[in-house]
């Protein structure tokens, strides 16, 4: 089967491509990616010359670019997105364009080319924040809070409309917070790991009591492949991790694991509209597809810290100009704690 993977140069997409090509002779992959700030071909260095891999640079909002890339493919796995909540708060337009219009364009082309299956990669953020102790299942209401999550929920509804109206063969997956190798270090876990390794402050939004449901990216990739191969058309599948952890407790855990002290914790101004809790039940994945997460948080964090420790060249390259500019804008004058980020030279690489 030849698969078009959109957003394959990003964090999860690149892990998925390596996973699929490494696992099975059955797949060829076309990676279609715009290479935004989040796209990085270095994530795919190990398979760049693989005989069943092709890269095409392009924008999913442009049907004239999407159509030739999709021609000859039987399936589409759609990762491409503006994926960062904070960026969508500063500037919502890119999230609306890529996540909503881009998904619509992809569906139109996929219908025209009679694609056999499209897996739309969505997020647990579409359920909005949950009360303490609650878990979302696939029938929970959509209550997105941020421009990012609203754009993902919109794309889910558009995909659902194509299934219902056009009998289009799509499946939706909704995953919880991923972590693992090749994650861009403006997201919480790689940011905290890299700052801890560099003895820089760890910025905690608000009171740090927000809860996230951590999923190792390899477990996510296994889940997506199971959905691609066996997921039922028109269905939604939650893919979540075993552990729901408060941000502050995660920061303390990472500090212990890197041998650093809690004095690095720096409370900063909260994210507007910040969701308190995400948590998924994934019984449907287990019951129908025999999937459940296999990598414990302890082992996953250990491996991930080791990966960031070992891949200093990758890290130095991604923490370049655009990253620095974003972080200056995002964290400057945001501190609320004794261990202020600005007092320690900005907290970010200079």
Residue in 85, 171, 254, 285 binding ligand DAU, rule: CB under 6 A:
85
3-class secondary structure, 305 = helix
Nearer to ligand DAU, 69 or 183 (CB): 183
Q: Are 16 and 8 in contact (CB under 8 A)?
A: yes
> 218 to 277, contacts with ligand DAU by CB under 6 A?
247, 271
Question: Contact between 80 and ligand NAD (CB under 6 A)?
Answer: yes
CA count, 13 A, side-chain hemisphere, 231: 30
What does the alpha-carbon distance between residue 270 and residue 254 come to, in Å, rounded to a whole number? 21
Q: How far is the CB of 264 from ligand NAD (least distance, A)?
A: 23
What does the alpha-carbon distance between residue 29 and residue 348 come to, in Å, rounded to a whole number? 36
Q: What angle do CA 94, 99, 101 make, to 5 degrees?
A: 90
What does the alpha-carbon distance between residue 11 and residue 31 come to, in Å, rounded to a whole number? 13
> 294 to 333, contacts with ligand NAD by CB under 6 A?
none
Which region, judged by CB under 6 A, interacts with ligand NAD, from 160-168, 174-182, 261-269, 308-316?
A: 174-182
Catalytic residue, from 124, 129, 211, 219: name it. Answer: 124
Which region, judged by CB under 6 A, interacts with ligand NAD, from 29-37, 136-144, 255-263, 304-312?
A: 29-37
Which region, judged by CB under 6 A, interacts with ligand DAU, from 185-193, 226-234, 296-304, 335-343?
A: 185-193
Beta-strand runs (E) in the chain: 2-6, 28-33, 53-57, 75-78, 117-123, 170-175, 178-179, 202-205, 211-216, 236-239, 243-246, 265-268
Residue 19 binds which entry of ligand DAU, ligand NAD, none, with Cβ cut-offs from 5 to 8 Å by kind?
Answer: none
Question: Contact between 128 and ligand NAD (CB under 6 A)?
Answer: no
Residue in 27, 184, 188, 278 binding ligand NAD, rule: CB under 6 A:
184
> 65 to 84, contacts with ligand DAU by CB under 6 A?
83-84
Q: What one-character DSSP code corresponds to residue 335?
A: B
Question: Contact between 205 and ligand DAU (CB under 6 A)?
Answer: yes
Q: Are 68 and 42 in contact (CB under 8 A)?
A: no
> 125 to 144, contacts with ligand DAU by CB under 6 A?
125
Q: What one-character DSSP code corresponds to residue 198?
A: T
Catalytic residue, from 33, 59, 82, 125: name it. Answer: 125
Residue in 34, 120, 200, 212 binding ligand DAU, rule: CB under 6 A:
212
> 38 to 57, contacts with ligand NAD by CB under 6 A?
38-39
Task: List, as one string, the DSSP characters of 308-332.
Answer: HHH-HHHHHHHSSHHHHHHHHHHHT
Q: How far is the CB of 39 from ligand NAD (least distance, A)?
A: 3
Question: Contact between 191 and ligand DAU (CB under 6 A)?
Answer: yes
Binding mask 163-182 for ligand DAU (x = CB under 6 A): -------------xx-----
Q: How far is the CB of 183 from ligand DAU (least distance, A)?
A: 9
Cβ-based neighbour number of residue 154 at 10 Å: 20
270 in active site: no
Question: Contact between 98 and ligand NAD (CB under 6 A)?
Answer: yes
What does the alpha-carbon distance between residue 219 and residue 179 come to, in Å, rounded to a whole number? 10
Q: What is the CA radius of gyration of the chain?
A: 19
Let me know how many helices (H) and strands (E) the chain has, helices first.
Answer: 13, 12
Residue 247 binds which entry of ligand NAD, ligand DAU, none, with Cβ cut-offs from 5 to 8 Å by kind?
Answer: ligand DAU
Length, in residues, of the chain: 350
Q: Are 62 and 105 in contact (CB under 8 A)?
A: yes
Q: How far is the CB of 206 from ligand DAU (least distance, A)?
A: 7
Interaxial angle between packed helices 217-230 and 11-23, expressed in degrees from 0 to 180 and rounded to the nearest 10: 60
Q: Are 115 and 228 in contact (CB under 8 A)?
A: no
67 in active site: no
243 in active site: no
Residues lying near ligand DAU in the complex (CB under 6 A) are found at 83-86, 123-125, 176-177, 187-188, 191, 203-205, 210, 212, 247, 271, 278
Any idea which residues carry the catalytic annotation?
124-125, 148
């Amino acid at each position: 089967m030849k698969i078009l993977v959109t957003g394959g140069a990003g964090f999860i997409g690149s892990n998925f491509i390596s996973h699929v090509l490494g696992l099975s002779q059955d797949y060829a992959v076309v990676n279609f990616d715009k290479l935004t700030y989040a796209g990085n071909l270095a994530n795919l260095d190990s398979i760049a010359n693989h005989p069943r891999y092709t890269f095409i640079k392009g924008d999913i909002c442009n049907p004239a670019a999407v159509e030739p890339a999709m021609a000859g493919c039987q399936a589409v796995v759609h990762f491409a997105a503006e994926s960062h909540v904070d960026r969508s708060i500063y500037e919502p337009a890119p999230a609306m364009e890529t996540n909503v219009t881009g998904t619509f364009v992809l569906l139109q082309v996929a219908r025209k080319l009679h694609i056999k299956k499209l897996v739309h990669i969505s997020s647990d953020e579409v359920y909005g924040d949950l009360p303490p102790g609650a878990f979302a299942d696939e029938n929970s209401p959509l209550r997105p809070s941020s421009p990012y999550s609203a754009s993902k929920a919109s794309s889910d509804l558009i995909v659902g409309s194509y299934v219902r109206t056009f009998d289009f063969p799509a499946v939706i997956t909704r995953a919880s917070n991923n972590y693992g190798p090749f994650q861009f270090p403006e997201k919480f876990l790689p940011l905290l790991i890299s700052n801890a390794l560099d003895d820089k402050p760890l910025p905690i939004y608000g009171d740090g009591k927000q809860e996230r449901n951590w999923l190792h990216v390899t477990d996510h990739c296994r889940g997506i492949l199971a959905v691609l191969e066996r997921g039922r058309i028109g269905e939604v599948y939650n893919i979540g991790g075993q552990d729901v952890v408060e941000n502050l407790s995660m920061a303390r855990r990472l500090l212990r694991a890197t041998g650093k002290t809690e004095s690095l914790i720096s409370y900063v101004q909260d994210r507007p509209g910040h969701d308190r809790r995400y948590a998924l039940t994934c019984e449907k994945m287990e019951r129908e597809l025999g999937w459940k997460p296999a990598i414990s948080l302890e082992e996953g964090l250990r491996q991930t810290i080791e990966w960031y420790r070992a891949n200093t060249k990758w890290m130095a390259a991604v923490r370049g100009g655009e990253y620095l500019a974003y972080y200056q804008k995002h964290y400057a004058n945001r501190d609320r704690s004794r261990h202020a980020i600005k007092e320690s030279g900005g907290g970010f690489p200079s």
